[in-house]
Structure 1
Amino acid sequence: MTKLRQWTTFALAPLWRWKWLFLLCLAATLSYNLFAISDETSYNPDQVANLSRLQPCPVARYASYGWPLHFERRMYSNVFSTSRRAIWTDVIWFSTWRGCVNVAVAIAISLLVTSIVAYRFASWRRWQFGIRDLGVLTIAIALLFAIGRHWESAYQVDRRYLESLQPHGIQVGRDYTESFWFRRPWRDAGLISSDAASPATLYFQLPSKHRPGSVDPDMNQLLLDAAAQRRQIRHPIRWMSFQDVPLNDAGLAALGQIAPSSDRLHLTPSDDLTDQATATIVRAWPTLIDLKFGSPALTRQTLDTLQELPQLELLAIADCSGDVTPEDLQLLEELPHLRRLGLSESLLERMSPAQLRRWSDRGVELYRAWYFHSYWYDIAYP
């Protein structure tokens, strides 16, 4: 115990001498970790059912709070909410453990800063700030600005490139999930834009649907041309949807070269997709959590290949070869995080009650995956 007390005193003595610095850092980090707005979304009354009756305001706002984890979500209006920072009001979701993590991070950062300062000035009886300290501080600040500049410039380059593809039907938008936690301090400091701090969505819409008389492009050839020019989208993409156009194996491989970062991929079921397309998906997007596709050419090999997506939670296969049997689906049991599995109606009808119960016991919800008129439908089964 004496040894432990000596080591504790040795470790905490410098912190005690700099306790006011620690308290100041703790107040600053706690304020940011608890009151920082992660993301804010506005909805018009026409977009939210019964909003005009429940709260007569022009706009309803949804806001998430906390850093690095958002621990609270509020829904408020410009009329009734007194402040965007009043996190104790209009709460619709709250997580205690996430709030505790944020507090722990604030304490850790404060301890780290205080320890560095205490170590730097441990041998001095009074405050001294030399040229070397000024140089280190300047380099640190310049590095922070350089990181922000790199993220923003990469986003702007990708934005201009994707805007050039809009006449061909490719659209880009901001995902409605929270911003990257590691980019949010730069965003809140004004060093990068909100769009640069958030993942993007990439989706395809046929130009003829919105502009009658427009010529729809050959998307497979467009992707092949872009890949041949070594184009690559560096900004993170959270979701890609090509539901208006059937891609083939070559077009999908080109898409993997152009946009190699995505967590969600929705494709139009196509006769031109084979087991090679599944191998391309696994190789190009190994961190997928949501995948929807289908083809009558997909065989048991596709199910075997999908085992290499360990983070997959949502899977929909709207069509596959008639040779695939319900027993082959056992290959997908190797996916540890799978929660929902969509299959074709013909395959579901061939499953026995025991097989259906087996999936239910694993906590996997089975449903009929149906693609119709550019939309995916999840139909409950049975």
Structure 2
Amino acid sequence: MPRLHCTRPARVVIATLLLVGTTFAADKTNTIGPNRAKWLKVRTRAVNFLKSAQDDDGSWTSPQAAGLTALATTALLDSGLKADDPVVARSLAYLESLAQKNGGIYHPKTLHRNYETSIAMLAMTAASSSATPAARKRYAAHISGARKFLKNLQWDKGEGLETTDPGFGGAGYGKHKRPDLSNTQFFQEALLSAGVKKDDPAMKNVLLFVSRCQNLESENNTTAFAGKIGDGGFYYTPAAGGTSQAGLAANGGLRSYGSMTYAGLKSMIYAGVKPDDPRIKAALGWIQKNYSVRLNPGLGQQGLYYYYHTFAKSLSVINLDHIEDSAGVKHDWRLELFDQLAKLQRPNGSFVNRAPRWYEGDPNLSTAYILLALKYCQPRPLKAAKR
């Protein structure tokens, strides 16, 4: 049975995480990340593209693309725009118009109720700090209703599942779609942003599901796939027979890949899992062996812009400023990711994935992903960084 061992670089990363507030002696500068002027230029051009691409009704791409519009709105707010900016105000009004009587925030014809509601909650939460008192009150009411709606979508005993079921605790696109790690991470973030605590039953159940999406056999994961690969990475879902977008191994294992590994790592940190937990160690070990800012490990160019967002946010959440890869090379991931993104930006400020799977051929979606990633790439003093 495959076993995952903690390599020397992995031990270095774990020790670094546990020594909060220390610095790397080898660093010759007091700044991590890219040059601020260059970073601002790339971000500003991307913001201007999204502002120019908005439709008159406040949406992007299509009136039915509620999830994309919520993502773009969040990206603009995270890039410094305020709730009263005309573009943001139009998109927020559009999202408010989608609020349903059941508390969800989604287009009536959608099959993605969980996803759209989750991202809309994140957008309204991001807008609240700069909104007028009246708007803040409206957003709070929408968020409260959406929180209840999302909890009812979680796959748990209400759907007849036992805690031992591989799908227990996860969330999918909607009520009748099997749960997956991608939708579960947005579900978790939305509830946390709405004030749900880590010890809430819904959050504890999320951790059960996320643990079962990892290629790591343990007391937290006894699914049929847990020990087949054992590399510490994550895949799409163990539910309904299991699925990995990276395909199957020869022994029937579900292959790990980059975007889901970073999503799984982030979800575990959000759930309160400590850095010295074997699940975190195993995930970091996989990341060190597969570190890349040029491709989505396991999928190549597919889902690359989603990967960039998840990569940057996860490493920021876990408070890592450098990644030491399996060859012992230390990477300033903010700088390296930014340099790659700057190369990919098109003359009009947008980003487009030439591998258009999962709608990444749409410049509105890909540019929103990149703005969300850029938030975590910004330069900052090394002395202010937590380790």
Which TM bucket (shorter chain)? under 0.3
TM-score of the superposed pair, with normalisation by structure 2: 0.26
Q: Would you tell me which structure has more strand in proportion to its own residues?
A: 1
TM-score of the superposed pair, with normalisation by structure 1: 0.26
